[in-house]
Amino acid sequence: MIINEQGSWMVFDEYPNSNWTGDDSYYVIDDSSELAERIMTYSNVKPIIENGVVLDIEILPKKEVEEIEKPVTIETIKKELDEQKKRSEKLAKQLEIANNVLEELVFSDVDDLDI
Query: Is 78 found in the same domain as 55?
Result: no
Give tens-digit pLDDT for 15-26.
Answer: 899 998 989 999
pLDDT for 4 equals: 94
CA atoms within 13 A on the CB side of 107: 6
Residue 86 has pLDDT above 70, yes or no: yes
CB 38 within 8 A of CB 32: no
Inside any domain, residue 65? no
Mean pLDDT of 86-101: 91
81, amino acid identity: L
CA 30 – CA 89 distance, rounded (Å): 53
- Evaluate whether residue 115 is within a structural domain: no
Tell me which residue range forms the domain holding 101: 74-110
Is it the case that residue 42 has pLDDT exceeding 90?
Answer: no
Whether 98 is in a domain gets the answer yes
8: helix, strand or coil: coil
Q: Are residues 86 and 51 in the same domain?
A: no
Asked if 3 and 49 touch (Cβ cutoff 8 Å), the reply is: no
pTM for the complete prediction? 0.53
Q: Please count the residues of the chain.
A: 115
In a domain, 36, yes or no: yes
- Whether the per-residue pLDDT at 65 is higher than 60: the answer is no
